[in-house]
Structure 1
Amino acid sequence: YQYTAIDDCTRYRVLGVFSRRTAASTLLFLERVIEEMPFPVQRIQTDRGREFFAVAVQQWLMDHCIKFRPNRPASPHLNGKVERSQKTDREEFWAVTDPRTPDVELRLAEWQHDYNWARPHGSLNGQTPIEAFCAKQEATPVWDEVEAKYDSTGERFQVAHYQTDLALRRHMETRFQAQEK
């Protein structure tokens, strides 16, 4: 299974391949994302895969001052940049790479490096993701600034079932409003 983290603004991305989608593999991937992204991660948007809703994953995100924003069900268009980049991966990387190859992780890392450092992107006016980042670096916050602005009161544990989560969110908002009065 391929995990993909892609920055909305620069298209810089981190990839990981795991044999299964689990909370443990998600946590390993998130550690890699924090280590490899050239800037602080402030928010993640995901599909509604159960691996993202594990308490351990959500607690890790909160501990790292990262907001968790899962999409509504059946809304792949809301993850369009990930979907498009994974299409490129299927057509250009996985079409010529057997996922059972012993060095698949090394090959994927090389592919990721090429994507971020050497591949011009039309959506970035011909820049590579790292060039786009460098152009925006002055305006990019550092970890200390992100942590200082993080408001943990706006975060809560979420459940994978959308309707249940929506009902819980509404209940919490109503309760919070009643406490303010």
Structure 2
Amino acid sequence: MNANKERALTDWINLFGLQVDLQPVERLNEFVRGQHLPTVLKFMQTKKIPMDPASVSSLTFFTTLLAHLKNLQKCSPHKFHAQLDARGATYGQRLDIAKFLAIVIYEIRMDPELQRFAVDVVVPELTRQSRKELAEIMDHLDDSCKWEDGEWDSILFQGSQQGPGEHSSSSVLFPERPHHSNASLPASKDAAVL
């Protein structure tokens, strides 16, 4: 897996965790035993920032998260969800955890009620590199109709496709606009990346 993509996913979840006083982690597999991901799931379910971190047994968490993602139906299950392995993620497999994180962030981005938090709170705190890496993942997921089944996670292995600074906030379109559109977005202090 590409180290910059892994770092970007980790940074996003860590920044979310800071909103509820969770300590940052260094590696993806540390999320398995922590409270970050259950808290993100609670946020997705209630559409409110939890006052306190949530706790769920790591043995059941990824199964619960997978069921929630399937119920959202914002993305095509055979494109995304079929590759999510709750068992592998539970056992700390970095790639399996990264796949879950990518889809979680994507689903948050796709939900207008949750999107504001991602754009206004988390994204401005990300490094330019992490914003660029996450934007590439989101762009790739937006283009899902172009892939064969079983190929969406290839973006997690790819290095950056653009040079530094080439991925401006206005080049990443929000879900309500077609990805291939040339429509411009309102300026939003470089936070509109996700």
TM-score of the two chains, using structure 1 as the length reference: 0.28
Q: Which protein has the bigger strand share?
A: 1
TM-score relative to the length of structure 2: 0.27
Larger radius of gyration: 1
